[in-house]
Amino acid sequence: MSDQSSAQPRHVVVLAHPNPNSFNASVVRTYCETVRSCGQEAIVRDLYAMGFDPVLKDDERPRAQGITLSPDVEAELAAIRGADIYTLVYPIWFAMPPAMMTGYIDRVLGAGVTAREIQDRAGESVLSGRHMLGITTSGTREIWLDEQGQIESLRSLIDHYLLHAFRMKSCEHLHLGGIVEGFSKRFVDQALYEVYERARKVCATVAAERHAAGARRRGST
Amino acid sequence: MSHPPAFYSPRHVVVLAHPNRSSFNGLVADAYCEAVRACGQEAIVRDLYGMGFDPLLKDHERPGRQGFALSNDVEAEHDAIRGSNVFVMVYPIWFGMPPAMMKGYVDRVLGAGVTPQDVRHRTALTLMKGQRLVNITSSGASKHWLNEQDQMEALRNVLGRYLLHAFAIKAYEDLHFGETTEGLDQEYIDQNLAVVDQRARSICAAVAADRAAHGATAG
């Protein structure tokens, strides 16, 4: 974990949306501005803009004789490794993340992790021991999604599953519902304010952890 | 288009999302098709990896937005699967979810043009309206473990009940095979494929019965 001793806490923000002017993109901008105003570092991985390839290759499936990571996955892992928190921002399409985001989990976040390791809770991934925050949006209001059991199912599909599979420190979720085309500025501002508040809370948490870790280090010398 | 003339034999579309055609998932797709043909019905396979399907929804394909338009590859895919009675999705569960290939097929092809309002009011006009959906999944973990994690129920909610509702599908059912890891022994494979064969035959019988009932009311 030597990489975590970098000067400031680091947030990796992964965005999966095809439109750079979308509400999801605004969420990312607000999140990053807030993080930087807290004196912390934020890097954005805009998957559509990067032209990320979400299709897992046959060679990338974990096998007895080992696994071969593709160069693009290796490069991506190098770019994101060692962050304090991974924040995934995406719309919910048909009750699930876009293919772009599931592919990022399949190829990058879950690189080389086998089903056996997940079952034994021994999966080693860039997420191990880190925090994760999912920020999702949907066109229907949260209450309706809830009636369908969707929010709970999505949470158990992604959040709970990844939390355990990769032994993460924590996994939280912020859902912003009722996001349709042409919604009012007041509504947008309100939703972005929720993002701002959550980002500040996350910054405080990781800063406190850094502080505690620093105190332990000083105490042990 | 929801009721093709009775002289056509019922058609099953098997959508396969696995990077290795000779994998267990590939065998499942083949076993399903063989059983369907043995019942005198038609089966076609859409091997998404083999076809090089692009799973990424484009900005202009977002439903209900200005400038909405379907891409050529999506139109062509619609032509290939239109008028089918059963949609069978065959895929491995990776990290609790379908592969990006399969999710993208839902986003771009099966859910083409379906808005949140359509979903809410069950007014979506999709190729699957009034038809049947079957999910056949596999995972390296045991079914028992997945159940313990609430994964099976969560997947059923999302890929079953939700799609049923969103796409106005008539019926949903699924079949899951656990512990399908590398180097499966032949006996285990044969056993599981026999289960697929049986299920395919029962679906064929249900579809034939639908047809008979429809023919009876129409007559």
* β-pair partners for A13: A44, A87
The CA–CA distances, whole Å, from B5 to B2, B211, B215 equal 10, 10, 9
3-state DSSP assignment of residue B4: coil
Which chain B residue has its CA at the smallest distance from A22's CA?
A: B59
| Residue B168 touches partner A, C-beta closer than 8 Å | no
pLDDT per residue over A5-60, tens digit each? 568 999 999 999 999 999 999 999 999 999 999 999 999 999 999 999 999 999 88
CA distance A20 to A26: 9
CA distance A100 to A110: 14
pLDDT band at residue B197, thresholds of 50, 70 and 90?
very high
CA distance B20 to A220: 52
Contact status, residue B132 vs residue B207, Cβ threshold 8 Å: yes
pLDDT per residue over A75-120, tens digit each? 999 999 999 999 999 998 888 899 999 999 999 998 877 766 766 6
Query: Is this complex scored with an ipTM above 0.90?
Result: no
For residue B119, the distance in angstroms to the closest alpha carbon of chain A comes to 9
For residue B43, the distance in angstroms to the closest alpha carbon of chain A comes to 26
CA distance A47 to A129: 24
Which chain B residue has its CA at the smallest distance from A117's CA?
A: B141
* Segments in A126-184 forming alpha helices (H): 142-147, 150-154, 161-165
pLDDT of residue B21: 94
Amino acid at A89: V
Q: With contacts defined as CB-CB under 8 Å, which chain A residues touch B153?
A: 153, 156
| Residue A136 touches partner B, C-beta closer than 8 Å | no
CA distance B79 to A150: 31
The pTM of the full predicted model, rounded to 2 decimals, is: 0.90
Long-range contacts for B141-145 (Cβ within 8 Å, ≥24 apart)? B141/A115, B141/A118, B141/A119, B141/B178, B141/B179, B142/A119, B142/B178, B142/B179, B143/B176, B143/B177, B143/B178, B143/B179, B144/B178, B145/A119, B145/B178
Least confident of A2-11, A152-161, A170-179, B35-44: A152-161
For residue B212, the distance in angstroms to the closest alpha carbon of chain A comes to 33
pLDDT of residue A89: 97
pLDDT per residue over B16-50, tens digit each? 999 999 999 999 999 999 999 999 999 999 999 99
pLDDT of residue A127: 87
3-state DSSP assignment of residue A195: helix
Written as one string, the DSSP assignment of B8-33 is SPPEEEEEE--S-TTSHHHHHHHHHH
